[in-house]
Amino acid sequence: MEEIIRINLDNEMDLIIVHKRTMRLAELCGLSIASQTTFATAVSEVARLAISYGDKSYIILSIHSLRLNQKEIVATIFDKVDLKAINSEAFAYARRLLGDIQTEYKDYYHVTTLKYRVQFGGIISKAKIESFREYFKNEPSISAYDEIRKKNIQLLELIDKVAESENRYRMLSDNLPLMMFVINNDGKISYANKWLKEFIEGQGLTLTNITWFSLLHLPDYRGFYADWEKAILTKTIFKAQGRLKQRENLIWHLISMMPVKNDNDLVTNWIGFFVDIHAQKVVEETLRDNKALKMIQQELLSHQKELEVKNTTLSRQNDFIETVLDSSVDYILAVDSDFRIITFNHNYEVLTSKKREEVLGEKLTDVFPVLKDNGTYELIQAALAGVPNHTPVYQSVISYRFYEVFYIPLSDDTDEIYGAVVLGRDITDHMQHEQKLKAMNEELLLRNNELEQFAYIASHDLQEPLRKIKTFSKLLHESLELNDKQKDYFNRIINSSNRMSNLIKDVLDFSRLSITDEQFVAVDLNEVLNLVKVDFELLIEEKSAVIHSDTLPVVPGIQLQLTQLFFNLLSNALKFSKKQPVITIKSRKLNFDEINSIIDLDANKNYYLIEFQDNGIGFEQQYARQIFTIFQRLNDKQSYAGTGIGLALCKKIVENHNGYITATSELGEGATFHVYLPAE
């Protein structure tokens, strides 16, 4: 079994992701649109149960190899809850779509397996399966939710890359044939590479709390101390020559110190180098003292061998840098200040069909004359002048693919510009995905508009025959002499027509809530509550209901929708009661910790919590999610009237206001509805 992708099943967005990625995997395996839809629909049926009722649920999409090189797509759903026992109808529907569905209990999980045979499974090789994994790894995000989840994965990968980069830096500094170190502003060494550590240990010293100048021959340090103090004051590079104490010998070294500054131009550290120049100094002394020439020649031969070793090491370092460049997925080219090519990586060789060794030192415009006409020449010129540039989208005249291009100046220790780097990143696939996504979004908007128009027209058209049924039933009821049984039949017809009319009206109201073009205004919830209480004046008096309310806040919103929200919540509290209703409405502003503790709230916003508490019949807490689903009822319609849309309308209104709604209850102990609305 080859695992392709794993998805947690936490909320409705995950259901969308599961459906789309199941469709996409089926498409990659060569299934027809009908087969894709069949398989994805069956998987979505079971996944929807996991999201609604499951615990610690997740799904794995895999490719399974059968005998005779056949393949099948496998969707395996893991859940702590037995989903089949909760809703066997969903399993029955999925089974009608796919045939057999396997269920088992394994390692404390209920495992549901759905399979679909690939007709031409032989063409799905190991390499193609690996390409499927790469596709989903690099697939553009389906939504902001999916984007956040991908960013979390990318952050973990970035942490690994930073650690790898640190290891490479340490390896590089340890392999360079010189002593490197970092000191603080007091001169104490905080970091030393392998060469300096070995030098210090060779003197019988330890790295702890040692200063860099304590390694020097004291008279030499006194000779350049004033220059070092001046470099500290001016925050500039310091260079000098001095002798390091190596047991009983003094070895000449070139000393370089470079300041490391923060964003406020304050020096936080200094990077230092000790480079062995003893051979050169010996040569200078030999020229002044011919008597020691023979001995110096011997030393020169010894140092020449050391130099050859160091040259070999430097050559290996160059090879290492070249390997790093060739390993990059980007296209990298470097030129000097005369526009001559310094280097470019393997990707650039493939793109231009030019060998690196053939064009090194050549003028860039001689090798690629087309660059003079497409603006690239001017951008590189600007980089050579010290001005970096960035071209978000550039179409190559060589490959006709799209790239994101960076033009970066190269400078030395004195900040003098000596060249520029051109770095290109292939974004062709990304742009194609963006264009495809844009087209899909436009089509989705069109379909949504069509559905809204259909719901509106259908609701109005359905009302007309219902009005006739009610009118003619009433006329017949009044004009005919009927016995009690016949009167009961007519009353049932009229009551059913009324229920159907209310249901159509609620569906129409629910569809209209998708239209949120109305401008938000400051809405006083105290005025909203007073208006709703006037609407229920007769019912409140009839039931002797008592309503207690805090002073409610003013929030940004749509007046009509917030009035509908309060109307539905108050209606529920009055309707579902078997004794004198007592309704309490509380309000307060949430603190930062409370907002952070609720995953559905934006931590960057402030929120008000409005609570509607009643002493009604209540419900079992396990149905707290179900009550906000359209047409979901927990009570029979004979005992309590309604269409099952009221709380779904409440949820939709709160979501339109970028808020969140939940409910807590115990059967027979009343219910509390918690409404979270943004404060600004």
561-572 pLDDT, tens digit each = 898 899 889 988
Question: Do 665 and 535 have their domain in common?
Answer: yes
Give kind and range of the element (H or E) at residue 63.
strand 58-65
Question: Do 275 and 389 have their domain in common?
Answer: no
Question: Do 100 and 125 have their domain in common?
Answer: yes
What pLDDT does 475 receive?
80
d(CA 113, CA 315): 57
Question: Do 572 and 595 have their domain in common?
Answer: yes
Question: Do 127 and 12 have their domain in common?
Answer: yes
Contacts of 3 (CB under 8 A, 6+ apart): 60, 61, 62
The encoded tokens of residue 185 equal 């502003």
- Taking residues 405-425, report their average pLDDT: 86
Q: Of all residues in the chain, what percent carry a pLDDT higher than 90?
A: 22
Contacts of 141 (CB under 8 A, 6+ apart): 147, 150
What pLDDT does 394 receive?
83
Question: How many Cα atoms are found within 13 Å in the side-chain-facing hemisphere of 535?
Answer: 14
Question: Do 452 and 584 have their domain in common?
Answer: no
- Taking residues 617-629, report their average pLDDT: 81
* Residue 150 counted as domain residue: no
Question: Do 461 and 599 have their domain in common?
Answer: no
Q: Greater confidence, 324 or 42? A: 42
Residues 230-242 have pLDDT tens digits of: 999 999 999 999 9
Residues 321-369 have pLDDT tens digits of: 667 666 776 778 888 988 898 887 777 777 777 777 777 888 888 887 8
Ranking 307-311, 414-418, 432-436, 561-565 by mean pLDDT, the lowest is 307-311
Cβ-contact 274, 196 below 8 angstroms: yes
Question: Do 282 and 192 have their domain in common?
Answer: yes
What pLDDT does 637 receive?
46
The encoded tokens of residue 174 equal 């340890």
The encoded tokens of residue 380 equal 């590189």
Considering the entire predicted model, what is its pTM? 0.34
Which of 322, 341, 372 is at the close of a domain? 322
* Residue 242 counted as domain residue: yes
What pLDDT does 459 receive?
59
Question: Do 550 and 455 have their domain in common?
Answer: no
β-pairing, 582-589 with 546-549? parallel
* Residue 345 counted as domain residue: yes
Largest CA distance in the chain: 146
The answer, yes or no, to whether residue 109 has pLDDT greater than 90, is: yes
The answer, yes or no, to whether residue 642 has pLDDT greater than 50, is: no
Query: Range of 487's domain?
Result: 431-512
List alpha helices for 585-673, DSSP H.
592-597, 646-656
What pLDDT does 63 receive?
92
* Residue 606 counted as domain residue: yes
d(CA 585, CA 63): 55
Q: Which residues pair with 201 in a beta bridge?
A: none
How does residue 631 score in pLDDT terms, banded at 50, 70 and 90? very low
The answer, yes or no, to whether residue 485 has pLDDT greater than 90, is: no
Helix, strand, coil: what percent of the chain each, to 5? 50, 25, 25
Q: Which amino acid is at 44?
A: S
Cβ-contact 196, 181 below 8 angstroms: yes
Residues 424-452 have pLDDT tens digits of: 888 888 888 888 888 887 877 777 666 66
d(CA 509, CA 646): 10
How does residue 114 score in pLDDT terms, banded at 50, 70 and 90? very high
Report the domain count for the chain: 5
Neighbours of 650 (CB within 10 A): 25
The answer, yes or no, to whether residue 484 has pLDDT greater than 90, is: no
Contacts of 626 (CB under 8 A, 6+ apart): 52, 632, 634
| Average pLDDT of the chain, as a whole number | 81
What pLDDT does 115 receive?
92
* Residue 144 counted as domain residue: no
Residue written as token pair 């025959």: 465
- Beta strand segments in 398-545, E: 402-411, 417-426, 521-524
What pLDDT does 552 receive?
94
